[in-house]
Chains A and B, each alone.
Chain A
């Protein structure tokens, strides 16, 4: 008891200047924060897996190998295969234009890129229906050419592109701005062409940003629900992505099935978080210059 008192007294003297909260306050604040996180984030996350395996491993496996589930996964995969590369090219092009040059309309461009963030996913889907739907502006033309966009795969892909295209750009723009253009100027003076400069100098410096942007874009593309809901038509086996399939299972009271399929998406989300930490670690190592 005496020893503890002495230690606290010495600690107090060292902490003469009130630059930090007392241990008691820290403890309380940390506990409240952790409790909040536990209730709001941790419990839901674990419950997904627990519900998914409620009826045992076999039922879990059956749910995710069910043909409807598999076709949903295929459709999601198609959406992702188109979305991510296109958005990657866009992200790189946009960040090059915005971070390396000054021009009239630059701020407008930046605001345009942020639009999907400020628009409700339902509205995101809706605007494509207005253009490409049978009653939409291109509707008659598309009908006459027998091209189906809405209630078919192309519509789903388009909408997914819309909702996820800002991610890579928004990741790269600040990175390129903080890197500055001196290395690229040096390369040009040394005689490198534009493409050589881009491949040999710019890309290596932004590779972690690209990786994280792609992972994030991928996670969001797989998980997009509201916008895809609007354009999809919900035709089982044809126009359902994984999230839509989850909805169907849930509405049929097939909870285990719904959570089983949902667990796949959750694993992808957790992988995203892990990769983000890794990227942060490596990119900070490179920043030491």
Chain B
């Protein structure tokens, strides 16, 4: 059926068969269902949905907040990864394990925790609000939540690359007279850049679709602080399947494009220095 290089290892048929069967039921049929539903829309219907003011406002919000959060994480995540790999300090192992917390913690828990901390009486809120910085129930809250969610993506993307860096190259640069900052900018950073970009895109894509950790802190006011996933849920609850589908598909397409671009980045990184 499929072209396969012959191998003496057994179990190809059964393992591939079960894999494809499982994927069909769990993934392919539901996703196909989504696209079939979409095709029942006319393009005009589709367009009118995704250009509603409320929808556009949600796109702006989701995109904007995700982008800023991913950017912030790119900077601090790189710093954290560097510190974790290159320096030693008391409790480093604990800190390293802690990085995965947003990954392992349920989104709803993260959501209520952040909402509570940054609200008026919360530990951070009670200092920030008098200073005029309002985070809870405002778009800024979404930013904070997405920073929490996205941090591990950047750190775990960049960490292995830093670990694999060839110390000898840095020594060569130093012996040629470069100071530490120059060495970092000209020699080290370019090697890390592809992983940093991949991590950024991952965090960004994740932020676009994030629901649980954001929905508590964000205020959810249409046109102001309503993220796209919430809007999809709202339309679903109102049985506006057409609207929900259109939104979902457009979001999916963007996600797929983003993930595809990660592959492109990795391909570029592997090939950019080849003759």
Contacts and interface: CB of A to CB of B under 8 A. Distances in A.
B116 A47 contact: yes
28 contacts: A17-B171, A19-B170, A29-B82, A44-B117, A51-B113, A96-B15, A109-B23, A122-B230, A126-B244, A127-B31, A130-B33, A162-B26, A162-B27, A162-B30, A184-B9, A188-B8, A194-B9, A198-B11, A222-B106, A223-B106, A225-B111, A226-B212, A230-B233, A243-B109, A259-B112, A262-B112, A270-B104, A273-B104
Contacts of A194: 9-11
B112 A246 contact: yes
A102 B5 contact: yes
Contacts of B7: 100-101
Contacts of B133: none
A33 interface: yes
A22 B87 CA distance: 12
A93 interface: yes
A103 B108 contact: no
Interface in A1-56: 17-22, 25-26, 29-30, 32-34, 36-37, 39-45, 47-48, 51
A121 B211 contact: yes
Interface string B87-125: 101000101011111101111111111101100000110
Contact of A97 (B16, B29, B171, B228): B16
Interface residues of B, number: 95
A104 B123 CA distance: 55
Nearest to A98: B19
Contact of B33 (A42, A118, A131): A131
Interface of B: 2-5, 7-12, 14-16, 18-20, 22-23, 26-31, 33-34, 37, 76, 79-80, 82-84, 87, 89, 93, 95, 97-102, 104-114, 116-117, 123-124, 147-148, 151, 167, 170-171, 174-175, 178-180, 183, 205-206, 208-212, 216, 228-230, 232-233, 236, 239, 241, 244-245, 248, 251-252, 255-256, 258-259
Which applies to chain B's interface (DSSP): helix, strand, loop or mixed? helix
B109 A42 contact: no
Contacts of B183: 18
A43 B180 contact: no
B80 A118 contact: no
Residues of A in contact with B, size category: 35 or more
Contacts of B84: 33
A242 B180 CA distance: 51
A118 B255 CA distance: 6
Interface string A146-165: 00000000000010011001
A165 B18 CA distance: 14
B9 A101 contact: yes
Given A96-B15, A120-B232, A121-B212, 5 more contacts: A127-B248, A244-B108, A255-B116, A266-B109, A269-B109
B97 A276 contact: yes
B143 to A, nearest CB: 12
A79 interface: no
A273 B37 contact: no
Nearest to A90: B22
Contacts of B251: 120, 123
Contact of B148 (A19, A40, A127, A222): A40
A105 B16 CA distance: 11
B112 A130 contact: no
A269 to B, nearest CB: 4
Interface in A84-98: 86, 89-90, 93-94, 96-97
Contact of B259 (A113, A114, A216, A273): A114
A89 B97 contact: no
B99 to A, nearest CB: 8
Contacts of A114: 259
A112 B112 CA distance: 32
**Best-surrounded residue of B212, B244, B256 (most CB of chain A within 10 A):** B212
Nearest to A246: B108
A94 B26 CA distance: 14
A111 B177 CA distance: 46
B233 A229 contact: yes
Contacts of A123: 34, 209, 229, 232, 248, 251-252
4 A-B pairs closest in CB distance: A223-B106, A120-B209, A194-B10, A226-B211
B241 A135 contact: yes
B123 A43 contact: yes
B87 A41 contact: no
A96 B100 contact: no
A48 B113 contact: yes
**Best-surrounded residue of B9, B18, B82 (most CB of chain A within 10 A):** B9
B229 A41 contact: no
B101 A225 contact: no
Interface string A131-154: 100011100000000000000000
